[in-house]
A and B are shown apart, each in its own frame.
Chain A
Amino acid sequence: MANWRHFKSVSLGLLIRAASFTVIFALLGMVVQMMVVAAPIFAASTLERIDSPEGVRGALVSRAESQDADLTQSTYWVSKDGWQLQGSPGNPWLWVHDQTAVPLNVRELPSDFSIAQMVGHQRGLAVLVGNTLEHFHFSQSTSINNVPAVERVKTVLVGSDIVALAGHPRLAVVAFATSSSEIQVVDFRNPNASLRIQVDVEIDTIVWVSPSLIRALTPSGDALLFVFRATDIGGDWRRLLSPIEYEGYPSEEYLWLPLPSAQRAEPKYSVVPLIFGTLKAALLALLFSAPLSLGCAIYVGCFMSEAQRQRVRPAIDMLTAFPTVVLGAIGLFWLAPRFGEFLSALIGVIALFPILAILGVFVVRGLGWRWVRHDALDDWPLRLLPLVLLVIAVGAAAGLSGAARLPGGSLEAYLLSSGVSISHFNSLLVGIVLGLAITPTIFSIAEEAIHAVPRNLAAGALALGSTPWQGYRDVVLPLALPGMIAAIMVGFGRAAGETMILVMLSGNTGIMDLSIFEGLRSVSASLALELPEAPKTSSHYQVLFVMGLLLFGLTFIVNTVAEIIRARVRMRVRGL
């Protein structure tokens, strides 16, 4: 009998251990799995030779293909509007339109070149002049008469002994062969890391068979195959974080355009605009949420009896019964269409609320009404409801009538006349709704911190003759301050990771604009919107996982710091 009981105990213990280890490993393994998915984006580009299948000779077809694309012979590039580019060594380059047939000189391109090749979806041209390789980019619309504009993007120093050159079909990458039998690949996005392989035969032609396969041909017609692997950021992690001078853009910029609308443009993966948007939304949310939730926390934590506190805390937690998707819908359907009026009213309320509330309480108590008394602090929030309703109504009315008196008749018209236009999806609305969503979180943690401070400290202050407010302000709140800061940090983390409100209200425009009337795009919204569409081995997918890890790291670190602060406060308060 005893054995059976012990057997049961041991096996149940094993079962519990097994289950909990599964959970712990799943939760911790999650991070590892995400890292594994994200890691290949940082891989350096590679070039390696593979054995060509037996009997594959350089077929005449491929030689013809390469001749066709070789600009040293006859040369053309067809742009959208029917323009063709012609050039041969020693002569000036010409744009020829297929209908008007009027040649236009292209002065931007050097005439003293030896080889020229298209690169990257015919977006640009790689031109070899002496021992330098120059990368030019064609852009469609920046010039008069729709002549494609030509601009130099980058110049890379290479050897002068180049015999064959081929442009990558998708990326700004060229492969070339030298007379000393070396195959080289230069990535114009990251030109310092050129890849080279020495072979033992003479090469005279080189072709890209596919975006990852290079075929080099010897004069006798033998084919050599090379595999080139590169991510969309070319093995340079700085392209995620630093400003980049992209093809077709006049200056260095931060851009998040993973799926450019022009199909042949290069994808742009700067995560900076998204992080900027995330921080902007979270900080705006804190701006609205922190005063409100800390005010509530101070009242509930300091002045309420235990029984009443157990009733009010769940009541405020009820705000969490509004899932963020519902808050987003309310913001989009009820607030955004009349945002001007809402904002005017809100400004009125925020400006007048403190004065009117203090004054109102003063008047109510001065009138001698017995239902707002210092010895019945518990019931104040409920008894003040009508007063607060009145205060809010007065504030909103004042805000609206103030806005009507502005030149132009409304807040939007006034802002527009001073050069600020409110876009339908704007950061301010995101901040307000997001602030509402994180209020219960901040309230709950801050209230716990305040409540943990022993009340007899305040009682001591009261006994020495301070008013209740003085007692709590000068004795309790300083002790609870770190806990309140921790609450704000947790709220910040919650706001940074919130997704639905941002997807629905932020407009998802990846612009970096400090104006609170412009939209934004956050990391979380990008993950939700783009990940289902991204192919699972693409660079886009991997960059999104990198951003997921960044967001994870941000919230995890913020939460950890907040947790450490809370633990220390708990220790300190326990000693009192």
Chain B
Amino acid sequence: MIGLSASMVSTVLLIGSGLFILLVASAGDWLFLSSEPFEAGFLDRLNDVFFAKPNVENGLTGLFPAIVGTLSLVMVMTLFVAPLGVATAIYLSEYARDTWYTKLIRISITNLAGVPAIIYGIFGLGFFVYGLGGQVDALFYADRLPSPTFGTPGLLWAALTLALVNLPVVIVAVTEGLDAVPNDLREASIALGATKSETVFKAVMPAALPSVFSGLILATARAAGEVSPLLLVGAVKFSPSLPLSSRAPFIEFEQKFMHLGFQLFDAVLFARLPPGGLGWVACIALILVLLIGVLNVTAVSLRAAVLKRQTVENPF
């Protein structure tokens, strides 16, 4: 039986690497070996796949806007999640008294982390897009009505929705990190005459910082792969311009944007893919997987670093 369960672990590892190899093989086969649909050399082909104008009809060219869209979405989301999530975790772990309603809030937030992302998506559509967006339009963009500016799915609402999806995850991770900091540290700091905020920010936070970052990065990775809310609040098949601008704040918050996951969804279900479509799908999937994989590995190695540091340096 030990052998059986050990082989199950091997099986899961095999499935994971098998899927990865499948994607790499299909993408590589299409990029390097097959001549469809490009005649030109390999470099031109890469250039086409990434930087050519996106082909609205049937794909195969122009992944760059989708990559930029994914990254800017994740960045804007992190701008919201990082301060709010960390502040909430600090409050729950350091400031809030241990009462029944604090416990209730903690349990609720833990459970909200397991609520499906599509639920946040419908909230995002109902509240951000139709509710807040409609208000913003009525107040600031009344001259452009009835064509909506913010009252329609866009980058800002998508980022806020994804932030809501990931806030519980971040809060739980950071709270756990803060709870793991030994109490002696806090007591020592207060005994030396530090104020509450000095204790929190100069004694406790530095000790918990790696776990804060690992939680944040994990949330970012999760956000990069989460597509279902985007079906409702902002991703589009084709957007004529990038959601970036040369003027401050450098990001066009109200724009619709292209997204790798949405491109994949659309390519698989709706586009009429010409020969070579399989390779194209594998390419998008591979880039997405690599992006998330890199984020995950960073988070995991950070966490490993924490463990090492805690075992070596923890004086208590």
Residues of A at the B interface (CB closer than 8 Å) are: 5-6, 8-9, 12-13, 15-17, 19-20, 22-24, 26-28, 30, 33-34, 37, 291-293, 295-296, 298-300, 303, 310, 312, 314-330, 332-334, 353-354, 357-358, 360-362, 377, 380-382, 384-385, 387-389, 391-392, 436, 439, 443, 468-469, 473, 490, 493-494, 496-500, 503-504, 524, 527-529, 531-532, 536, 544-545, 548, 551-552, 555-556, 559-560, 563
Look across to chain B and name the residue whose beta carbon is closest to the beta carbon of A26. B164
Report the minimum CB–CB distance from A2 to chain B (whole Å).
9
A362 to B3, CA, bound (A): 8
Majority DSSP secondary structure for residues of A touching B: helix
Interface contact A34-B126, CB-CB below 8 Å:
yes
Interface contact B116-A292, CB-CB below 8 Å:
no
Look across to chain A and name the residue whose beta carbon is closest to the beta carbon of B131. A33
B11, B15, B268: the one contacting A333 at CB < 8 Å is: B268
Look across to chain B and name the residue whose beta carbon is closest to the beta carbon of A319. B16
Report the minimum CB–CB distance from A502 to chain B (whole Å).
9
Look across to chain A and name the residue whose beta carbon is closest to the beta carbon of B277. A333
A89 to B306, CA, bound (A): 89
Report the minimum CB–CB distance from A355 to chain B (whole Å).
10
With A528-B118, A551-B116 known, 15 other A-B pairs at CB within 8 A are: A16-B87, A19-B88, A20-B92, A27-B167, A298-B5, A321-B289, A326-B288, A360-B7, A384-B7, A388-B7, A388-B11, A494-B116, A527-B122, A528-B231, A559-B111
Kindly state whether residue B9 has any CB partner on chain A within 8 Å. yes
Contacts of B307 in A (CB 8 A): 310
Look across to chain B and name the residue whose beta carbon is closest to the beta carbon of A537. B130
B114, B171, B267, B269: the one contacting A490 at CB < 8 Å is: B114
Contacts of A26 in B (CB 8 A): 164
A563 to B215, CA, bound (A): 20
Interface contact A6-B95, CB-CB below 8 Å:
no
Look across to chain B and name the residue whose beta carbon is closest to the beta carbon of A291. B8
A498 to B226, CA, bound (A): 10
Look across to chain B and name the residue whose beta carbon is closest to the beta carbon of A300. B9
A361 to B256, CA, bound (A): 55
Kindly state whether residue B314 has any CB partner on chain A within 8 Å. no
Proximity bits, B67-91, A CB within 8 Å = 1, else 0? 0000000000000000111011011
Look across to chain A and name the residue whose beta carbon is closest to the beta carbon of B1. A469
Contacts of A353 in B (CB 8 A): 7, 11
Kindly state whether residue B185 has any CB partner on chain A within 8 Å. no
Task: List 8 A-B pairs, minimum CB-CB distance, nearest first.
Answer: A497-B116, A323-B225, A361-B3, A295-B8, A499-B228, A20-B91, A19-B87, A9-B195
A12, A436, A545: the one contacting B126 at CB < 8 Å is: A545
Given contacts A23-B84, A329-B264, contact A531 B122 (CB under 8 A): yes
Kindly state whether residue B40 has any CB partner on chain A within 8 Å. no
Report the minimum CB–CB distance from A207 to chain B (whole Å).
31
Q: How large is the interface on B (under 10, 10 to 19, 20 to 34, 35 or more residues)?
A: 35 or more
Interface contact A8-B197, CB-CB below 8 Å:
yes
A389 to B18, CA, bound (A): 11
Report the minimum CB–CB distance from B266 to chain A (whole Å).
10
A379 to B83, CA, bound (A): 42
Interface contact A532-B84, CB-CB below 8 Å:
no
Report the minimum CB–CB distance from A7 to chain B (whole Å).
10
Interface contact B84-A19, CB-CB below 8 Å:
yes
A-B contact pairs, 24 of them (CB 8 A): A16-B95, A19-B91, A20-B91, A23-B85, A23-B167, A26-B164, A30-B127, A33-B131, A312-B9, A321-B221, A321-B296, A323-B225, A323-B288, A329-B281, A332-B268, A357-B3, A381-B6, A490-B114, A497-B118, A500-B265, A528-B228, A551-B116, A555-B114, A556-B114
Interface contact A16-B91, CB-CB below 8 Å:
yes
Look across to chain B and name the residue whose beta carbon is closest to the beta carbon of A529. B231
Report the minimum CB–CB distance from B77 to chain A (whole Å).
14
A572 to B22, CA, bound (A): 45
Contacts of A381 in B (CB 8 A): 6-7, 9-10, 13
Kindly state whether residue B238 has any CB partner on chain A within 8 Å. no
Report the minimum CB–CB distance from B12 to chain A (whole Å).
6
Contacts of A551 in B (CB 8 A): 116, 118-119
Given contacts A323-B225, A326-B288, A496-B116, contact A37 B126 (CB under 8 A): yes
Contacts of A357 in B (CB 8 A): 3-4, 7
Contacts of B83 in A (CB 8 A): 19
Report the minimum CB–CB distance from B188 to chain A (whole Å).
17
Look across to chain B and name the residue whose beta carbon is closest to the beta carbon of A21. B91
Interface contact A319-B15, CB-CB below 8 Å:
yes
Interface contact B289-A34, CB-CB below 8 Å:
no
